[in-house]
Amino acid sequence: MLAAYKASAALLAELRDLVGEHNGRVGATQSTEVAHLKSIFRSSPPCREDLTALMHYLNKEEKRAFTEDQRQELIDVANDRVSTTVVGAGEFDPMLSDMLGPQKLQKHEFTYNYYTDDDWEYFCSEAKITQKFTKMSRTWIIAFGLRFLPAQTYRIGLSTIIEASKMTFAPTEAYDMMHEFVCEFKMVRGQTEGTVTWKRFPSDPGAVIESYPGG
């Protein structure tokens, strides 16, 4: 992160020398470089030493490359990268506060690896299938921080419950079950507080469960 910031600062310094401090190109390039740096920060390994070095450099920077608001924006993104992804660098992606709409969809193809023995006992019990929908929804939201789901995750969840319950359904019945499951999840989500965690979950739940207090 620090190396990227220095490269952007050097580019802006050269541009200021060439066209002058108040030339419109400076402001436009600042905005472009902020977007570029944010992209780099979000994809960089979550290294505390790199973040510390970046903050130290910013504190000591005599001729500031960016405005105060832009500097704060960059610090926030860099800090989020390190504080949100505390383990498993490169294995799963953190949710970011400025993500909108489809960007928030969380990819979790391995929910069945994350359930506890108590979860499995309930899914395999004689409880009503609608009660199992509620149980699974609460587990996803509270234990995993899983709140914004693509259709594939719902399908995996429903298949898990059907298999654990040793039940079979005709295609039309399965469609109705899926609709009921989605509605139940959304209702539980609306009634349950929880922190949104990662966009992409790894197959091994160890890192996620250890790093997320709800796990």
Q: How far apart are CA 122 and CA 140, in angstroms?
A: 15
Alpha-carbon Rg of the chain, whole angstroms? 23
Q: Which of 114, 74, 101 is nearest to 199 (CA)?
A: 101
Mean pLDDT, rounded, for 25-35? 91
- The pLDDT value recorded for residue 214 is 47
Mean pLDDT, rounded, for 112-133? 94
SS3 (DSSP) at 196: coil
Q: How far apart are CA 48 and CA 136, in angstroms?
A: 35
| pLDDT tens figures, 2-25 | 899 999 999 999 999 999 988 988
Q: What is the pTM of this model?
A: 0.54
Q: How far apart are CA 81 and CA 64, in angstroms?
A: 23
- What distances in angstroms separate CA 117 from CA 9, 69, 120, 124, one per listed residue? 53, 49, 5, 11
Angle among Cα 90, 96, 100 to the nearest 5 degrees reads 125
pLDDT at 89 over 50: no
Q: How far apart are CA 190 and CA 4, in angstroms?
A: 41
Alpha carbon dihedral 124, 129, 130, 133, in 10-degree steps, equals 50
Q: Which helix (H) or strand (E) holds 109?
A: none
Going from N- to C-terminal start, the domains of the chain cover 2-84, 101-211
- What distances in angstroms separate CA 192 from CA 115, 137, 147, one per listed residue? 19, 10, 10
- The pLDDT value recorded for residue 79 is 74
- What distances in angstroms separate CA 163 from CA 13, 160, 172, one per listed residue? 62, 5, 17
Q: How far apart are CA 81 and CA 73, in angstroms?
A: 13
- The pLDDT value recorded for residue 195 is 74
SS3 (DSSP) at 3: helix
Neighbouring CB atoms inside 10 A of 64's CB total 12
pLDDT at 213 over 50: no
Instruction: Give residue 193's region: left, alpha or beta (phi > 0; psi -120 to 50).
Output: beta
- The pLDDT value recorded for residue 149 is 87
Mean pLDDT, rounded, for 74-98? 58
pLDDT-derived band of residue 76, with 50, 70 and 90 as boundaries? confident
| pLDDT tens figures, 172-196 | 888 899 999 999 999 999 998 877 7
